[in-house]
Amino acid sequence: MTRAHNFSAGPCTLPVEVLEALQAEMVDYQGSGMSLIEMSHRGQHFDAVFEEAITLVREQYGVPNEFEILLLQGGATLQFSMVPMNLLGDGARAAYVNSGHWAKGAIADARYYGDVYVAWDGKADRYARMPITEEIKLFPNTRYLHITSNETIGGIRYFEWPEVEVPLVADMSSDYMTRPVPWSRFDLVYGGVQKNLGPAGLAMVIVRRSALDDASDQIGQYLRYSVQVDKSSMFNTPPVFAIYVLGKVLKWMKKKGGLEGIELEANRKASLLYNAIDGSDGYYDCPVTPAYRSVMNVVFRLPNENLEEQFLREASAADLVNLKGHRTVGGCRASIYNAMPIESVAVLTQFMQDFCSRNPA
């Protein structure tokens, strides 16, 4: 079977060896006579899978002991509400950086649950960059500053984390476990795993225990981080299959050199693609300020929409799939997450060069 070069923004490309391992175990998991996803989530088989996944996250991501790791249903979008529900006590307010599409979603949902304000807005720059620390304006009694570490649609990324006097909360969905995190600055990070770490349906939340000391208990039980901590993410049946795959991807990452190896390869893939864009004499254009270009989601335009449509058709015919930009911005986008082989990026850059030579503007 020939694998397509899948540049989807999510669900993501997964490592072939992980898919093959899942295939081998799907019908009969470790001689049990059934698949793992048919078993009790409180049985010994899944318990071992769950604990291994948590251990691998803590080990590879360098998560300090004062943080809890939760594996929850609902993806990152549910966290847009759970964060302010839990962290905004009486009289507290939250600051949000408006860096684009996903930050706007977080801001809109947070406003249902507390006093929320925008500490920096990227609209004037057409969301082509992230702020530097000095541009972020915080008001008194701010409980946390929420950032979106990588805007999947806009193709922008923080390369230097803000240094502010309040704890950071971050949506890291599209660059989760791709680089180190300075945990001392954070109270909570969250993200859906379907970009770098597994299939859709699972959110990983990493929260500082002390951040929950004053958390509200006037919300439904499932929505309380304290309940999820007490129940080790098993207040109800967790997303078993997604956690199962997460564990296998984490083991694959460890074999690849862990976070250090993943980050090195991510930078190599991104450099290869950005060099093709920048070396095209303007034929391909990335609208992002260079210092803030995402390493995960590379966005670019062609000279006109007709050429973009032709590019996408021909790319798909060449098994270079899911390169169309998000419907809200158009253009093209190549998502090159952890499991995307560098060989696929090389195939794409060669196609881009050939297309440019055959179709002058």
| Catalytic status, residue 252 | no
CA angle 58, 244, 59 (to 5 degrees): 10
Find, among 280, 319, 324, 282, the residue nearest to 299 by Cα. 324
Q: How far apart are the first and last CA of the chain?
A: 36
Angstrom distance (rounded) from CA 223 to CA 232: 14
From 109, 171, 175, 187, the catalytic residue? 171
User: Checking DSSP bridges between strand 203-208 and strand 186-192, what pairing results, if any?
Assistant: antiparallel
Structure tokens at 8: 């989807």
What letters, b where the CB count within 10 A reaches 16 and e where it falls short, cover 76-112?
bbbbbbbbbbbbbeeeebbbbbbbbebbbebbebbee
From 109, 187, 195, 269, the catalytic residue? 195
Give whole-number Cα distances, 5 to 14, 51, 231, 324, in Å: 11, 33, 40, 13
For residue 52, the cross-strand partners are none
From 102, 175, 251, 269, the catalytic residue? 102
| Catalytic status, residue 214 | no
Find, among 125, 169, 131, the residue nearest to 287 by Cα. 125
Q: Is the peptide bond before 290 cis (omega within 30 degrees of 0)?
A: no
Residue type, 156: I
Q: What is the dihedral of CA 304, 307, 311, 313, to 10 degrees?
A: 120
| Catalytic status, residue 102 | yes
DSSP secondary structure of 79-121? HHHHHHHHH--TT-EEEEEE-SHHHHHHHHHHTTTSEEEEEEE
Residues labelled as active-site residues: 102, 171, 195
